[in-house]
């Protein structure tokens, strides 16, 4: 985890927070707008998945996606 965090810092992140636990989780990185693409590209090159999100003023929203199930 420390290596990932240090790698992100050296590629544009100003800070980060580990979220979740166990078999899954996320690193949330704070990055200035002009370094965002650099950080995303660097993390993808290392094989990490990128999930983007936005904040809004409406509050919590959730949704369900349709999945195909085999019978």
Domain count for the chain: 1
**DSSP 3-state of 67:** coil
Q: Indicate the pLDDT class of residue 68, thresholds 50, 70 and 90.
A: low
* Whole-number pLDDT of residue 43: 96
Instruction: Determine, yes or no, domain membership for 59.
Output: no
Instruction: Determine, yes or no, domain membership for 19.
Output: yes
Paired tokens of 33: 């707008």
Domain range for residue 11? 2-45
Instruction: Determine, yes or no, domain membership for 37.
Output: yes
Distance CA 6, CA 11 (A): 9
Asked if 44 and 50 touch (Cβ cutoff 8 Å), the reply is yes
* Whole-number pLDDT of residue 45: 97
Instruction: Determine, yes or no, domain membership for 64.
Output: no
10-67 confidence digits (pLDDT tens): 999 999 999 887 777 889 999 999 999 999 999 999 999 998 777 778 877 777 777 6
Instruction: Determine, yes or no, domain membership for 55.
Output: no
* Whole-number pLDDT of residue 10: 97
Instruction: Determine, yes or no, domain membership for 70.
Output: no
Instruction: Determine, yes or no, domain membership for 53.
Output: no
Instruction: Determine, yes or no, domain membership for 40.
Output: yes
Instruction: Identify which has the larger pLDDT, 63 or 68.
Output: 63
Asked if 32 and 50 touch (Cβ cutoff 8 Å), the reply is no
């Amino acid at each position: 985890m420390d290596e990932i965090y240090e790698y992100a810092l050296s590629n544009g992140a100003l800070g980060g927070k580990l979220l979740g636990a166990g078999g899954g989780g996320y690193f949330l990185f704070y990055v200035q707008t002009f370094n965002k693409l650099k950080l995303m590209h660097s993390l993808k090159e290392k094989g990490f998945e990128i999930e983007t999100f936005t904040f809004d003023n409406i509050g919590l929203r959730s949704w369900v996606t349709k999945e195909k199930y085999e019978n």
